[in-house]
Amino acid sequence: MIIYDLECGAKHRFEGWFKNANEYTEQQHSGLLICPVCGSERIRKIPSASYINKSGSSSDKSEGTNLEKEVVQHQVVKMFHEYINKNFDDVGSKFAEEAKKMHYGETEERNIRGTATSDEIRELKDEGVSAVQLPPAPYDKDKLN
């Protein structure tokens, strides 16, 4: 598995996960690689700092350690939360109410984030309103200082 940081012509950044480098090239040339934000097919790789160098046997290098996998997972969840916080309006505890208003055309559609109870999430799904529960934001010791 290989992960590339990608960017479209409109400067939207996102990650692409591929079986190998050839799969990235094949998807790009066949038009399967598109920006999840705007749908652009003009995608390029951008520099990434996600590689973790380590010492050990060559078989260890291909698989990675559990600690490294946890670090990468932590980084992915952190980046995801940073993206959501930057690009979605925080409606707080009125998430379910705002999502319904958009679903029924009472207010303009936009990206929102907030909190909802399990009952509210169930009710949204029953009414056909799209909502996704996120994993909690990872602990960030730097923010405590």
- Token pair in block for residue 3: 């992960």
Q: Which residues face 112 on adjacent strands?
A: 89
Does the predicted TM-score (pTM) go above 0.85?
no
Beta carbons within 8 Å of 92's beta carbon, 6+ residues apart? 114, 115
H helical segments located in 4-145? 21-30, 58-63, 66-87, 95-103, 118-126
Q: Quick: pLDDT tens for 55-92.
A: 554 444 445 566 777 777 778 888 888 888 899 999 99
- Token pair in block for residue 115: 């909190």
Q: Quick: pLDDT tens for 87-140.
A: 999 999 999 999 999 999 999 999 999 998 888 988 999 999 988 877 777 665
Q: Which residue has the higher pLDDT, 40 or 69?
A: 40
Q: Which residue has the higher pLDDT, 72 or 51?
A: 72
DSSP character at residue 14: E
* Arithmetic mean of pLDDT, 51-56: 52
How far, in Å, CA of 144 to CA of 125, rounded?
A: 37
